[in-house]
Structure 1
Amino acid sequence: MVDLYVLDLSKNGLTGKIPKCLWNMSLYVMLLSSNRLSGAIPSPLGPNLSLRWLLLNNNNFNGELPGAFRYFRLLTVFDIGENKISGNIPKWIGKKFTSLIALRLHKNNFTGRIPHSLCKCSDLQILDLAHNNLTGSIPHCFGELNGMKKKSFYTFDSRFSGYGNMTQVIKGVALEYTKTLQTNSKGNQLQTLTDPLMYADNPYLCGAPLPKECSPHENTSKNKDENTNEPNKVWFYLDIACGFATGFWGIIGVLLFKKEWRHKLFMFCEVAMDKIYVVVAVRVLKMKRGREAA
């Protein structure tokens, strides 16, 4: 039996949803790009440590990225561009996909801030976040992505040379790789981070290298939120403490100083326990008699 390492169904006009069973196959490369696949991307049924390349770009997928995608820890190329995927860019992409070489989220409906966790992808050489609805400032740690300082790209396995029809947008022009991600030049990869077109159509992003400067309010909004939440937390715990003290001593204190009330409470509890005992005893006696009659 021959192992299936590569599944290439790209550019076939396939419709419908991705079958969940595909996630269980021991594939190294899954290419489903340039079809008419739609709906939410199904969640993997469990960890898949064999998958290296996953290209789902140029389809009609919607919804958010499944959280179970974090199981694909060995992914080196991840392309979901040209879809309708929404929500925030998950922080686990940077935390779990530490071997990423190329990450392409081009032309989706992602919102929120660019997560700083992407800076943990030290081997990242291609990053495309253009045409989304991202907000906030660009993380300064992007300048520390060592993978973009290398003089050449590389593939994870020579057996799969010739696969990876991946599109990258550079200076507003879409370029398609029909063979591999290898090149002997592109040592200026890090300069693409300074190209404003990399963040095109994200009108709410600000800060260098974009011409739009971040206002002091945008830079300090997170710190302000944290600072304003601190007094709220203090009052919250203070309210709990006061409520507990009032309720506890309001009852215990009265019982300590009011002997008559204390006796009435004990008498009430004793009578209640007697009634419960009688009810239970009668039920047990009825059940015994029923069994004996049977």
Structure 2
Amino acid sequence: MPDLEYLSLSTNNLSVEIPLSLCHLRYGALDLSKNLLLGELPDCWNHSSLIIVMDFSSNNLSGSVPPSICSLPFLESLHLSNNNLSGELPSSLKSCARLNTLDLGQNRFTGKIPTWIGESLLSLKILRLRSNKLVGNIPPNLSRLGALQILDLASNNLSGTIPSSFGNFTTMKVSGEMNGTILKNYTRYNEKMQVTVKRIYIEYVTLLPLVIVVDLSNNNLSGTIPEELTSLFGLVSLNLSENHLIGEITEKIGALQQLESLDLSRNNLFGRIPSSMIGLTFLSYLNLSYNNFSGRVPLGNQLQTFTDLSIYAGNPGLCGFPLTQKCKYDGTNQGPNAVGGDEQNDDSMDKERFKMKWNMSTGAGFAVGFWVVFGPLLFNNKWREDYFQLIDQVYDTVYVVLAVIFTRFREHNVRA
């Protein structure tokens, strides 16, 4: 079939090795995903083939990525995820300069993320390396991938800090386009990708151009969350959970207006939850559990709909609605009808502080006045005798006046 443009045998029970004859396909897309294919990927690809899409994901393939794959001059999409591939990421892949999608997730790749990805694969829109055994620091030069819209490095053994240069991902600074495409030169195939959003695996096809995701969860990353990430205004999902991150959440996080999912759980973050998060009106999933956050949970807009206590679990310093822990100054929980954030909370706290200070001042004034008046009477006998004589005189005078008034009143009633 020399003119075959699209061969899909996906989602069957094929359990053989990949035949070498497939290397002779000349055009389009080759999709053998979701089968039971065995053995290694064939190393027989050459420049004469015009294959644009190659999908061998979700099989039982082993070995490494064959060097000849990047002999395919028009290859834009390479899916090899969910297999048993191993070894380091081969440097031969840097010859795949046209790649828009590189999905090597859920394998057994080892070693570091090579710097040549940020130097040679400048057309990448999707880089998915999750669930491997990669180690070392994240190369800062990945930020040179200006077209990148999905970066998934989750569930590895990566260490070091999150590069501040990640704030330079150009495409992530704007919202995705519904009429956009992942592939540039092939419209007969709808690119698909499995993305973890809201802790759920979702396979996006038609909506894939709208998905802008950074997932660095379940690694050994340390340091603070770079403030530069808040310039990625198009982000739909940000997952930095299960690391060793420290510091506070910047107030600028409110700039991520497109954010639908935010997971910062199981880190060492501390401080107050920024009130600017009230402005994240598209947020439908939030997880801040098992950190060291403190203070009142901000309420208003979207945040007051999050009543699941597990969102804030493991932060004993947090208080206020929806938690059962009451805040220190008002002694009551703030209800779901409250609008506003930390500014209003601070105002109410200031009022409570003022009341406390007023009560303390009044008490102190009473004590001072008491001792000014009665102190000398306790320690000066003459003053004490004069004082009580005065009291007796006042008493006698008042008694006589009242007696006269009472007598006249009674005589008037008798005459009547």
Measured against the shorter chain, the TM-score band is: 0.5 to 0.7
**Which letter does structure 2 place at the counterpart of 1:29?**
V
Cα pair distance change 1:111/1:178, threshold 3 Å: same
Q: Tell me the residue number matched to 2:364.
A: none
Bigger shift: residues 111-120 or 200-209: 200-209
The 5 Å alignment of 1:248-263 reads none
Kindly provide the CA deviation profile for residues 157-198 of structure 1, in whole angstroms up to 9, marking residues without a partner as x.
474354333111223221112446233xx4xx3xx54xxxx2
Structure 2 residue 35 is matched with structure 1 residue 12: yes
**Which letter does structure 2 place at the counterpart of 1:166?**
M
Shift of 1:21: 1.2
More helix by share: 1
Q: Tell me the residue number matched to 2:57.
A: 33
Cα pair distance change 1:158/1:95, threshold 3 Å: closer
The 5 Å alignment of 1:1-294 reads 1-2=2-3, 3-22=26-45, 24=47, 25-44=49-68, 47-153=71-177, 154-155=180-181, 156-157=183-184, 159-179=186-206, 181-183=208-210, 186=211, 189=212, 192-193=213-214, 198-208=215-225, 212-213=245-246
Q: Tell me the residue number matched to 1:227.
A: none
Percentage of pairs with the same residue = 37
Shift of 1:203: 2.2
Kindly provide the CA deviation profile for residues 230-276 of structure 1, in whole angstroms up to 9, marking residues without a partner as x.
xxxxxxxxxxxxxxxxxxxxxxxxxxxxxxxxxxxxxxxxxxxxxxx
Distance 1:88 1:206 in 2: 19
Check whether the contact 2:222–2:246 (CA below 8 A) recurs between aligned residues. no
Bigger shift: residues 69-78 or 203-212: 203-212
**Which letter does structure 2 place at the counterpart of 1:56?**
L
Q: CA RMSD in A?
A: 2.2
Partner SS, residue 134 of structure 1:
strand
Partner SS, residue 5 of structure 1:
strand
Cα pair distance change 1:205/1:132, threshold 3 Å: farther
Kindly provide the CA deviation profile for residues 64-115 of structure 1, in whole angstroms up to 9, marking residues without a partner as x.
1111110000100110111111110011111001011110011101100000
Distance 1:79 1:18 in 2: 15
Distance 1:114 1:107 in 2: 15
Distance 2:122 2:36 in 1: 32
Aligned residues: 204
Cα pair distance change 1:162/1:180, threshold 3 Å: farther
Structure 2 length-normalised TM: 0.46
**Which letter does structure 1 place at the counterpart of 2:31?**
D
**Which letter does structure 2 place at the counterpart of 1:132?**
N
Distance 1:49 1:117 in 2: 25
Cα pair distance change 1:149/1:204, threshold 3 Å: closer
Cα pair distance change 1:22/1:35, threshold 3 Å: farther
Shift of 1:28: 0.5
Partner SS, residue 44 of structure 1:
helix
Shift of 1:135: 0.4
User: Structure 2: which 5+ residue stretches go unaligned?
Assistant: 4-25, 227-239, 248-416
Shift of 1:122: 0.5
Check whether the contact 2:192–2:208 (CA below 8 A) recurs between aligned residues. no
Cα pair distance change 1:128/1:46, threshold 3 Å: closer
